[in-house]
């Protein structure tokens, strides 16, 4: 997973280490937590300063918000897991499309990979595409893998 905020509400890319991912997952489950709560109530067997430093890194990457509570910070995720996953997938697709001046081959590879894994997912994506953009060229290229398999 690799995202953070940049500019006008856009998420920027960077990687998250295993401990950062684990802490972020714990915060999504809990909603918010202090360093002590994460150590005491989550399966994060690390030194207090290690967890504190990791939370601070996630905060600097603009993935967490924090507020002062007594003599500590309470951290909470700035984004939901689906928001981060959506941005990650979007960046991967944009990267795929940037590999060539013509997007058709890359899109056809993507559709083929989706159809090999789950034809129902492809049908769902086609319905969503039609609903959000009207009947567009989406239906033209989503039929391609099925026609080629016949």
Residues 75 and 116 in one domain: no
**pTM: predicted TM-score of the whole model, two decimal places:** 0.62
Q: How many domains does the chain have?
A: 2
CATH code assigned at 74: 1.10.10.10
Residue 21: pLDDT over 90: yes
**More confident call, 28 vs 90:** 28
Q: Is residue 11, in this structure, part of any structural domain at all? A: yes
- Domain hosting 57: range is 4-79
Token reading at 78: 């700035």
Specify if 84 maps to a domain. Answer: no
Does residue 87 form part of some domain?
no
Higher pLDDT, 7 or 119: 119
- Average of pLDDT values for 61-82? 95
Position 140 scores a pLDDT of 43
Q: What is the mean pLDDT of residues 24-28?
A: 96
* 73 and 117 housed in the same domain: no
Between strands 64-69 and 10-12, the pairing is unpaired
Q: What is the pLDDT of residues 31-51, one digit of tens each?
A: 999 999 999 999 888 899 999
């Amino acid at each position: 997973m690799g995202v953070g905020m940049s500019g006008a509400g856009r998420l920027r890319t960077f990687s998250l280490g295993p401990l950062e991912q684990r802490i972020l997952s714990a915060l999504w489950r809990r909603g918010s937590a202090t360093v002590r709560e994460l150590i005491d109530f989550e399966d994060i067997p690390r030194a207090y300063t290690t967890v504190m430093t990791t939370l601070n890194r996630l905060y600097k990457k603009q993935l967490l918000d924090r507020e002062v509570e007594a003599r500590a910070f309470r951290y909470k995720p700035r984004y939901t897991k689906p928001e981060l996953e959506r941005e990650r997938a979007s960046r991967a697709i944009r990267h795929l499309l940037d590999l060539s001046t013509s997007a058709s081959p890359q899109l056809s590879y993507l559709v083929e990979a989706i159809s090999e894994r789950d034809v129902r997912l492809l049908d769902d994506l086609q319905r969503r595409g039609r609903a959000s953009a009207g009947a567009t060229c989406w239906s033209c290229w989503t039929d391609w893998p099925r026609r080629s398999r016949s």
